[in-house]
Amino acid sequence: MFEGQPKGLWALAFANTGERFGYYTMLAVFALFLGENFGFAAGTASEIYTWFLTLVYFLPLVGGMAADRWGYSRMVVIGILIMFLGYLLLSVPLGGGTVAIAAMGAALLLVSFGTGLFKGNLQVMVGDLYNDPQYADKRDSGFSLFYMLINVGALFAPTAAIKIMEWAQNSLGYSKADSYHFAFAVACISVVASILIYYLGKSTFRQVLAVKKKDAVAEAPVEEMSKAETRERIICLCLVFAVVIFFWMAFHQNGLTLTWFADEFTATSSSGVQSMLFDVTNLVAVIVIVYALFSLFQSKTSKGKMWASILIAFSAAYLIYQYTHLEPETAISAPIFQHFNPCFVVLLTPVSIALFSWLAGKGKEPKAPVKIGLGMLVAASAYLLMTVFSFGLPATDHPNHVAEVNPNLLVSTYLILTFAELLLSPIGISFVTKVAPPKYKGMMMGGWFVATALGNKLVSIPGHMWDMPLYIVWGTLMAICLLAALFIFSIIKKLNRVA
């Protein structure tokens, strides 16, 4: 699984891991912060949240075009520095007045613009690692590993946000509203770690660095492609982008309506084995066991098998210890549910790679567009589950807790959505780097993020529907995912020609 990948993959992936840890630490509590600190109603909070997400994923188009002109590495570094300034401003507690709102707006713009320069261009650099013929057949698995590693950062983010807020409240005496700024400060530290990783690992990906100067261009010659082929590839990518819009609309409910559902409708405590799910160290132990099992069966040396066995035994012993020392009840905070998606990404990535490698060996691996269509169907099934179990629930009345739904409903929903994400997101990014005309790589990767941005803007629609019966909210998302799946399967032959 990890063998045969270019060395530069790991440095670039871990640089993104640091940045994503900070971003998701901030995002885990941001929607709740808007209500707690400023008193914004659900509709207003939805608009601010989704406009921020829109900018975060729209600006990579600008960043990609800038990188096509001035170089990817340069834009990545500038982006990290701008992000740092944004998170720094956001971490300053200024109260809930006009000045605080203006400062928050400026901070969100800086974070958005910095991310726009950083995120897409780093992924183009990852794609360029696979232009070398010896790595060409590893592109999809490489992006799956890249996607898995950056989700390691997202896995620990909700716990980091909750713990540092509790520390600020209990040890330093800060109010709940002011404690949110400590979570935002974590992001400042994480982007510093990101830039350090990038520079320390630079020697492993020098072959893809491209810095343009006035008197010279230090990059490989751009491959020529006919106008007809260029046009066909751009059209196919735009059709895929159209589908991706609706996936992200459904998926990014995790930070908005699904967090509200956790806050207002889901039980606030858990007991027994179920409560172990809400301690991130237990999840890490399960992840270690899964990866060690793969290593145990795939290792070619007795030493490798021995270390895998030791890791399995140690992790299993830790889980048994945790179970035998459980408290009668474990408190559940709404943001903690957001650690399940990155956990499942990390947990399921080796399973996904193994499955598709097995299918590839039999000549039956589906092409990227088919995987994307299947991802939309899986996403629809997640909201079917939410729809069915929301019948009979009382109407919402922010911010009162009005029900005690079993936490397993949200955990299961995040699991299904993660299956959909693994079929669509890393595969879609890989598809873009493979199909994009060489002259427009940065712009086309930016196009992927623009589609994500439009989807993120549409995230606010269910937020505005929040006072409706919940089965209507979730049923709408289910229907949208089904229609998007039908669309992509209706044009699958056209897309497969370029895949």
CATH code where residue 72 lies: 1.20.1250.20
Q: Which domain holds residue 37?
A: 8-200+226-268+332-498
Q: What is the DSSP letter of 270?
A: E
Assign 60 a pLDDT band (cuts: 50, 70, 90).
Answer: confident
Number of domains in the chain: 1
Q: Please give the residue that has the higher pLDDT: either 138 or 184.
A: 184
Q: Any idea what the Cα angle at residue 197 is, between residues 195 and 200, rounded to 5°?
A: 110
pLDDT over 50 at 215, yes or no: no
Mean pLDDT estimate for the chain: 87
Q: What is the pLDDT of residue 397?
A: 59
330-331 and 269-270 strand pairing:
antiparallel
Domain contains 13: yes
User: If you average pLDDT over residues 300-324, what whole number do you get?
Assistant: 92
| One-letter identity of residue 136 | A
d(CA 236, CA 222): 21
CA 394 to each of CA 178, 344, 386, 403, 414: distance values in angstroms, whole numbers, following the listed order: 32, 30, 14, 7, 23
Domain contains 352: yes
Domain contains 280: no
d(CA 67, CA 55): 18
- The tens digit of pLDDT for each residue in 243-290 reads 989 999 999 898 789 988 998 899 989 999 999 999 999 999 999 999
User: If you average pLDDT over residues 5-28, what whole number do you get?
Assistant: 89
Q: What is the pLDDT of residue 432?
A: 87
Q: What is the pLDDT of residue 396?
A: 64
Domain contains 307: no
User: If you average pLDDT over residues 145-174, what whole number do you get?
Assistant: 87
Q: What is the pLDDT of residue 217?
A: 38
User: If you average pLDDT over residues 407-414, what whole number do you get?
Assistant: 95
| One-letter identity of residue 383 | Y
Domain contains 354: yes
Q: What is the pLDDT of residue 298?
A: 79
> Which residues lie closer than 8 Å to 36 by C-beta, 6 or more apart?
176, 177, 180
Q: What is the pLDDT of residue 15?
A: 92
User: If you average pLDDT over residues 328-351, what whole number do you get?
Assistant: 89
- The tens digit of pLDDT for each residue in 344-394 reads 988 988 888 888 888 888 888 888 899 999 999 999 999 999 999 999 888
Domain contains 293: no
Q: What is the pLDDT of residue 220?
A: 46
Cβ–Cβ under 8 Å, residues 250 and 379: yes
pLDDT over 50 at 9, yes or no: yes
Residue for token digits 């990783």?
Answer: 197
- The tens digit of pLDDT for each residue in 113-132 reads 999 899 888 988 888 888 88
Domain contains 113: yes
Q: What is the pLDDT of residue 223?
A: 57
Q: What is the pLDDT of residue 448?
A: 86
> Which residues lie closer than 8 Å to 427 by C-beta, 6 or more apart?
140, 143, 144, 368, 371, 372, 375
User: If you average pLDDT over residues 483-491, what whole number do you get?
Assistant: 93
Alpha carbon dihedral 139, 152, 342, 269, in 10-degree steps, equals 170
Q: What is the pLDDT of residue 219?
A: 44
CA 252 to each of CA 131, 236, 244, 246, 382: distance values in angstroms, whole numbers, following the listed order: 32, 24, 12, 10, 13
- State the alpha helices, DSSP H only, in 252-367: 257-264, 280-298, 302-324, 340-361
User: If you average pLDDT over residues 429-438, what whole number do you get?
Assistant: 84
- The tens digit of pLDDT for each residue in 460-480 reads 899 888 888 999 999 999 999
Assign 224 a pLDDT band (cuts: 50, 70, 90).
Answer: low
Domain contains 391: yes
d(CA 183, CA 485): 37
Assign 214 a pLDDT band (cuts: 50, 70, 90).
Answer: very low
- State the alpha helices, DSSP H only, in 325-407: 340-361, 368-390
